Amino acid sequence: MSEERAWHPRRAGPFVANRVLLVLLAAALMGVVLLPFAAMAPNRLMSGQGVNVAVALLPWQWLSLAGLAMVLALCTLARPFPSRLARWLTLIIAPLWLLLALYGLGDYAFRTLQDASPAARVSQGAAFWILVFCPVLMIIDAFQRLGSGLAVRGFYTAALVAMVGALFASGIFDGLSIMQEYANNRDTFAAEFLTHLRLVGLALGPALLVGLPLGLLARRSPSARGPLFGVLNFFQTIPSIALFALLVAPLSALGEALPWLKALGVGGIGAAPAIIALIMYSLLPIVRNTYAGFAGVPATTIEAARGMGMTARQILWRVEVPLALPVILSGLRIVTVQAIGLTVVAALIGAGGLGSFIFQGLGQYAIDLVMLGAVPTIALAVVADFLLQILVSLSKPAGTR
């Protein structure tokens, strides 16, 4: 992993010390000046009129944004700050930028909607997204240069997420169009979110139960390996919507033929084909990583264990499994993120989940309803990835972390 590698600062010149930060800052400033920060529309189906950052934000807000940008600009230079200080300053200022952009957008929505028609909507513009993503990338860059451990990064991220969460809880965003969509769909949102998680969980459980032994089998019997990986790669290659759709016909036939299966909810449309397809997609990464994990255990280590008088079962559970665990968990990380994404598509065959907002929104040309499905899905995938990354790192034997 590149993040783990020690960073050797290389001066690009006597003047600029951090060209990455400089590029990010320049991109952010250019985007903010050229692109609309927010959009104001007469109702939820019309596309909005773009509003520039200087118009959308109060003077104190954009002046602070500009002031913080000046400090960030100084952080890119070799002087006046020593490099470590510049990185820590970036870690303080970048999140302030992010929070200010979030607060400014919510505040703008409140102020404009006070004297607008009740159907009017305020949504986020391209410059807003730039003001969110660039600080996040600046934070990543600063951590890479500092070479901070996972504990520091995890704690920092948790604090940042807590602050953004507090902003949400304060109700500052309630004027925004996406939050109005949320308010209109409050009950369905919670239900679809849980459905999404349930589909992922129902797929990952069986996939692990089947995949882990198959991975071990691939390790133990080389003749099974070729056909096994061939078949699993075949499933992995079929586009998600095609696999979902191809399962609809046989399952509806099965449901018609066996009424007790239909009573259990197995039918053409719904959760059953989605879960089966998700399991098929999850098998390849799990089996492959289980195989790779076991294959990576040094033969000398197993030899030593045998020499100590351990039985085959003891060697498996006390030597091989612990040593293979980080690689197996990386496989779990891949399939979890993948399953969260594929479940979006499952909404097309009536399985529910956050994808149903996306496709409803696309059908109605209501972009904020699309956002209500897409933004939480992306957040869910990124959070799951981060948490499992921590788990993988914790599972590595002490000293190799």
Partner 1 sequence: MRVAALKRPTSRDGLLASLSALLVLLVLFMEELAPLFQALFPELGNPVYRRESFLQLTLDHLLLVLVSSLISVSVGVGAGLFVTRRSGREFEPMVSSLAAIGQTFPPAAVLAIVVPLAGFGFVPTIVALTLYGLLPVVQNTIAGLGTVPPAALEAARGIGMTRGQILRRVELPMAMRVIIAGVRVSVIINIGTATIGSTVGAQSLGTPIIAGLVGNNIAYVIQGAVLVGLLAIVSDLIFERLERRFTFGD
Binding site for partner 1 (CB under 8 A): 2-3, 5, 7, 10, 12, 19-20, 23, 126, 137, 140-141, 144, 225-226, 229-230, 233-234, 237-243, 245-246, 248-249, 252, 268, 288, 337, 340-342, 344-345, 348-349, 355, 358-359, 361-362, 365, 367, 370-371, 373-375, 377-378, 381-382, 385
Q: Which is nearer to partner 1, 305 or 367 (CB)?
A: 367
CB of residue 362 to partner 1, shortest distance in Å: 5
CB of residue 128 to partner 1, shortest distance in Å: 12
Cα(316)–Cα(186) distance, integer angstroms:
49
* Chain centre distance of CA 221: 36
Whether 361 and 373 have beta carbons less than 8 Å apart is answered as yes
Cα(353)–Cα(189) distance, integer angstroms:
9
Cα(239)–Cα(349) distance, integer angstroms:
14
Which residues touch 198 (CB under 8 Å, ≥6 apart)?
Answer: none
Q: Which is nearer to partner 1, 32 or 134 (CB)?
A: 134
CB of residue 269 to partner 1, shortest distance in Å: 8
Cα(206)–Cα(81) distance, integer angstroms:
54
CB of residue 253 to partner 1, shortest distance in Å: 10
CB of residue 270 to partner 1, shortest distance in Å: 12
Burial class (CB in 10 A: 0-12, 13-18, 19+), 71: middle
Cα(105)–Cα(150) distance, integer angstroms:
32
CB of residue 255 to partner 1, shortest distance in Å: 13
Cα(378)–Cα(355) distance, integer angstroms:
11
CB of residue 6 to partner 1, shortest distance in Å: 11
Q: Which is nearer to partner 1, 116 or 242 (CB)?
A: 242
Q: Which is nearer to partner 1, 62 or 281 (CB)?
A: 281
- The token duo for 37 is 């920060």
To 10 degrees, what angle do helices 186-220 and 355-364 make?
Answer: 130
Q: Which is nearer to partner 1, 15 or 365 (CB)?
A: 365
Whether 313 and 321 have beta carbons less than 8 Å apart is answered as no
- The token duo for 378 is 């992306």
CB of residue 93 to partner 1, shortest distance in Å: 18
DSSP code, position 240: H
Whether 311 and 302 have beta carbons less than 8 Å apart is answered as no
Whether 255 and 261 have beta carbons less than 8 Å apart is answered as yes
Q: Which is nearer to partner 1, 126 or 310 (CB)?
A: 126
* Three-state helix/strand/coil letters over 288-319: HHHHHHHHCCCHHHHHHHHHCCCCHHHHHHHH
Q: Which is nearer to partner 1, 195 or 240 (CB)?
A: 240
Q: Which is nearer to partner 1, 22 or 302 (CB)?
A: 22
CB of residue 224 to partner 1, shortest distance in Å: 11
Q: Which is nearer to partner 1, 319 or 339 (CB)?
A: 339
Q: Which is nearer to partner 1, 6 or 398 (CB)?
A: 6
Which residues touch 312 (CB under 8 Å, ≥6 apart)?
Answer: none
CB of residue 16 to partner 1, shortest distance in Å: 10
> Phi, psi (5° rounding) for residue 304?
-65, -40
- The token duo for 393 is 């790192």
Partners of 40 in the β-ladder: 49, 122
